[in-house]
Structure 1
Amino acid sequence: MISIIASDMDGTLLNGKQEISEENRKAILEAQERGVQVVVATGRSYEEARYVLEEAEISCPIICVNGAEVRNEEGQVVKTNAIQEEKALEVMRILKDLGIYFELYTNQGVYTEDYERGIQSIIDIFKTANPETSEQAIRDAAKERFEKGHIRVVEDYSEAFASGNVVYKFLVFSFDDSLLKTARDQLESAGGLAISASGRENLEVTSVEAQKGIALKKLIEEKGLKVEEALAVGDNLNDLSMMQVVGRPVAMANAAEEILAFCSYKTSSNEEDGVARAIYEALENKPATVD
């Protein structure tokens, strides 16, 4: 019996229009009506996640920024796992020296020094999650981040540090595979960091304690539930840590190869209401496999 369900957002709960389909919405509400806990686990900031859930009239806890921040159903911060300032400054120096683009996710919002590259980085995430969606539709969705104030443009990231913000995540972006690898190698050598990805051309850098799996496991335990009775569904590498702690890990049909290889359960794609299918099959205790 499943007692708690955790779902990723981009490429999982959201379709190519960056919306929660009606079928996914109905499945989540039915699970909640049956007494099953639902939590969203995302690399997005709280503001970026919240507005999508509110549009679908879904209320649930949110594991934000890969576990760097956890919010309850009322939107209150209940736990944070920020990168310590000294370590954040070290990461920033590494990335600046390499000349690689990055964004800062903080407790006060998301910052970029370059509007157009900020657009391109989110296009990569959206495109990875929704390869069939048109480039223009994806660009329009990326621009919405700025229009709704979910990302702020600053001349220098020092402005963010000067404002007393704490850093939750660095989103690193490059089309140069070798540069991205060099960045990963140097960041891994720095220690104390978790490095994952949500797209082909990016890295997501958080505190080693800020991972979806760690946050989900703690949340499950605090609710007095069992990890063996938990379901987690996702599509990309930043979902792997939560797949590793639950009894029913479910890969989207559009998931990265590493996720498909790890998960013993599979569902349909994010364009085919894969989350709804995973939920209904779990509620009926059926095996979740793609035809």
Structure 2
Amino acid sequence: MITSVASDMDGTLLNEKQEISEGNKEAILKAQQAGIEVIVATGRSYEEASYVVKEAGIDCDIICANGAEVRDADGEIVYQAGIEDDRSRQIAAELNELGIYFEVYTNQGTYTEDYEKGIDLIIDIFKTSNPDVSEAQVRQAAKERYDEGRINVVEDYEVLFEDSEHLVFKFLVFSKDREKLQQAQSVLAELKDLAVSSSGKNNLEINSIHAQKGVALEKVLSSKGLNVKDAMAIGDNLNDLSMMKVVGRPVAMGNGLPEVKEFCSHVTATNREDGVAKAILDAMEQSEQD
């Protein structure tokens, strides 16, 4: 019997319109009514995640920036795990040396030094899980994220590292040059206090070793008196593996990466086919039969 469900967002809970479908919403509400704890676990910032969740009329805890921050259903911070300023400067220096684009996620918002490359990064993440959607449509949606202030432009990231009010949660690295990405991954892998994952074919996500979806999920469930082995985690990409490794029922999306499908004990439908709803309802039905 599952007592909790953790779901990724992009490529998982969200469809090709970047929305939570009615089918997924109904399944989540049914699970909550049955006493099952539902948690959204995403690489997005809280601001970018919460507006989609609230728009669908869902109240739940949200694991943000791959586990660097956890907010409860009321939006209150319950956990944070950032990267120290000196380490952030080192990461930025290494990436600049390689000439590779990156964004910085902080407790004060998400920042870029290059608007156009930031748009390209959003397009890449979205088209990884929705390859047949037109680039023009995705580009317009990406521009709206900037226009609505969910991503901010700064001249130099150093202003963030110098400001004590900014806690760095994540570096999101983007390049269509696979060799550069591999070089960046090799360099950063040597820093043992970091976790390096990915949410798209052309990106890397860099967090504190204490900021992973699996680490955050264990903390959330423990605080609620729930056993992680009675949890189900649903996702499609590499940054979901840390939570899939700790739960009793890991579920890969039908559109998920082969590595994710290979690890998981269950595979559901795609994000366009209400895969999250199917996974939840299948688990609940199985629980009733046990």
User: What is the TM-score of this pair, normalised by structure 1?
Assistant: 0.97
Matches within 5 A, 1:148-159: 148-159=148-159
Kept after mapping to 1: 8 A contact 2:68/2:207: yes
Deviations 1:144-202 (A, max 9, x none): 21011110011111222233311100000000000000000011112210000000000
- Once structures 1 and 2 are overlaid, which stretch shifts more, 11-20 or 128-137? 128-137
Corresponding residue for 1:247? Answer: 248
Q: Measure the CA separation in 1 of the matches of 2:144 and 2:253.
A: 26
Corresponding residue for 1:220? Answer: 221
Q: Where do 4+ consecutive residues of structure 1 move more than 4 Å?
A: none
Q: 1:28 Cα deviation (Å)?
A: 0.4
Kept after mapping to 1: 8 A contact 2:4/2:37: yes
- Once structures 1 and 2 are overlaid, which stretch shifts more, 158-167 or 208-217? 158-167
Q: 1:56 Cα deviation (Å)?
A: 0.2
Q: Measure the CA separation in 1 of the matches of 2:229 and 2:110.
A: 35
Q: Measure the CA separation in 2 of the matches of 1:117 and 1:93.
A: 18
Corresponding residue for 2:182? Answer: 181
Kept after mapping to 1: 8 A contact 2:88/2:161: no
In the alignment, does 2:186 pair up with 1:199?
no
Deviations 1:73-108 (A, max 9, x none): 100111100011111111011011111000000000
Kept after mapping to 2: 8 A contact 1:18/1:141: no
Unaligned runs of 5+ in 2: none
Kept after mapping to 1: 8 A contact 2:89/2:161: no
Q: Measure the CA separation in 2 of the matches of 1:206 and 1:61.
A: 20
User: What is the TM-score of this pair, normalised by structure 2?
Assistant: 0.97
In the alignment, does 2:111 pair up with 1:111?
yes
Taking every aligned residue pair, what percent have the same amino acid on both sides? 58
Kept after mapping to 1: 8 A contact 2:194/2:208: yes
Kept after mapping to 2: 8 A contact 1:102/1:173: yes
Corresponding residue for 1:289? Answer: none
Matches within 5 A, 1:90-101: 90-101=90-101
Q: Measure the CA separation in 2 of the matches of 1:144 and 1:266.
A: 33
In the alignment, does 2:19 pair up with 1:19?
yes
Root-mean-square deviation over aligned CA pairs:
0.9
Q: Measure the CA separation in 2 of the matches of 1:190 and 1:225.
A: 33
Q: 1:116 Cα deviation (Å)?
A: 0.4
State the one-letter code of the partner of 1:249. Answer: P
State the one-letter code of the partner of 1:90. Answer: Q
Kept after mapping to 2: 8 A contact 1:168/1:206: yes
In the alignment, does 2:221 pair up with 1:230?
no
3-state SS of the aligned residue for 2:206? strand
